[in-house]
Amino acid sequence: MENNINKLNFITRLFLNDRFILTIIVINSITIFSEGFSEFGDDLLYWITLVDSFVTILFLIEASIKIWYLGWSPYIQSNWNKLDFILVILSLPSVFLLIIQSDLHGLSFLLIFRISRVFRFFRFFKFIPGIEELVKGVQRAMKASVFVLFGLFVFNFIIAVLSSYLFKDISPHYFGNPLKSLYSIFKIFTIEGWYEIPDELSEGVDNFSSFLIKGYFVIILIVGGIIGLSLVNSIFVDSMVMDNTDELERKVDRLNEKIDFLVRMQNQKEE
């Protein structure tokens, strides 16, 4: 592959060089970040937009060169290339409208596609060492955790509906309907600030009712927030490192085989 690249012209080799592409991504990230500052003024923002559009054209050239060099089928088989290609296609309308002055053509609604530029930041992950193994680990962990996550969602759903009927008159802000209740119970599951909801519900009620309300939410916190999320987290992490565990087990197995072989050899000599 490297010998074939060396035979190509300078422009082609440049766009097949990961360091050059990473530099473009960094420049593009800076321009996208800078466009969010209205304090820069219209003139400066216009030039920043031009740089961003020029970067989009560079990404289009990169995709075209890779398709020519690799061929369409090998190119599109890569998930990273799929992401690159989709983002380039979504970014092209904004470049086209910038050239033809969209305000005069009533097509400015197409500028919404410029939002897709933000997803170019994900291209940074492509240059992280071992990212492929990490992605596979995440996929494996998601598959292993899906049933626990579904069970946790069902528990959240049931408690949300129950809480809505119990507290919608007391606190319509949190439990006015099952959807609001679903979000409120999820907030309790996250543990952060979980006490604010029961404290608000307990205002203006007698001590016994306050005790029951707080006890109700403490049970929800323990079952859903502590036990439930801890279970999901443990399964997720265990699945993430499964490859490392498998590799360690293989090494141990090979070591045991070598020990068994040495023991047999020693026994043969003694005989």
Across the range 89-105, mean pLDDT stands at: 65
232-264 pLDDT per residue, tens: 777 777 766 666 555 666 666 777 777 777 777
- Please give the pLDDT value at position 59: 86
Residue showing tokens 């403490």: 218
The residue ranges of every structural domain in the chain are 2-127, 134-240
- DSSP state, residue 225: I
Determine the Cα–Cα distance for residues 23 and 35; give it in Å rounded to an integer: 19
For residue 6, pLDDT over 60 is answered with no
Q: How many CA atoms lie within 13 A of 210 on its CB side?
A: 9
149-159 pLDDT per residue, tens: 788 888 889 99
Across the range 65-88, mean pLDDT stands at: 85
- Please give the pLDDT value at position 215: 92
178-203 pLDDT per residue, tens: 999 999 988 888 887 788 888 888 88
Residue 98 in tokens: 């910038």
With beta carbons less than 8 A apart as the criterion, state whether 194 and 201 touch: no
First-to-last alpha carbon distance for the chain, in angstroms, is 56
Q: Give me the helix-helix angle, 178-189 and 207-220, nearest 10°.
A: 70
Across the range 158-164, mean pLDDT stands at: 91
Percentage of residues of the chain with pLDDT beyond 90:
6
Do 2-127 and 134-240 agree at the fold level?
no
Across the range 76-102, mean pLDDT stands at: 75
Q: What is the CATH number of domain 2-127?
A: 1.20.120.350
One-letter amino acid for residue 192 of the chain: E
The pLDDT-based confidence of 140 (bands split at 50, 70, 90) is confident
Chain mean position to CA 33:
19
With left for phi above 0 and alpha for psi between -120 and 50, is residue 74 left, alpha or beta?
Answer: alpha
With beta carbons less than 8 A apart as the criterion, state whether 152 and 159 touch: no
> Hey, what CATH topology would domain 134-240 get?
Helix Hairpins (1.10.287)
For residue 111, pLDDT over 70 is answered with no
More confident residue, 4 or 261: 261
- Model confidence, pTM: 0.55
> 102: buried, middle or exposed (CB in 10 Å: 19+, 13-18, 0-12)?
middle
CB atoms within 10 A of CB 179: 10
